[in-house]
Amino acid sequence: MPIVIEADGFEETAERVDKIILQLRELRGYEIGREFAEWQEQDVNRKHAFVVKHRATWTTRFRPHSRWEMTRHRYAMRRLVRRGRYTGYYSTRPVLRQELLDQLVTRMEALLNNIKW
């Protein structure tokens, strides 16, 4: 004896869930990267934002100097490494000040609040 379940309003719920899934895909695919770029240009005062998407994650990178200086440094570093005079180092200083991190968190929370559940 088969069990039959009838539900009213299931189509409306399915449409709503589909819209939420679409919003989340757009958020992951485009909106977060755009928000990272705007944050770097407006709040951090960078002329050229450096935002990279790798699969499903977004990363933003900070250059200590301009793009031109960083490419020149990369070439000089290669030359010194080949000659055995450069070993490289990593800074232990935090990348962001607390105010900038708070501004980024506020922007991302506002972005999440735009999703209509």
Domain ranges of the chain: 11-113
Over 80: is that where the pLDDT of 65 sits? no
CB 41 within 8 A of CB 47: yes
CB within 8 Å of 59: residues ≥ 6 apart: 51, 52, 53
Mean per-residue pLDDT of the chain: 82
Overall average pLDDT of the 85-102 stretch: 78
User: What's the pLDDT score for residue 8?
Assistant: 75
In angstroms, the Cα distances linking 63 to 27, 46, 95 are 26, 10, 10
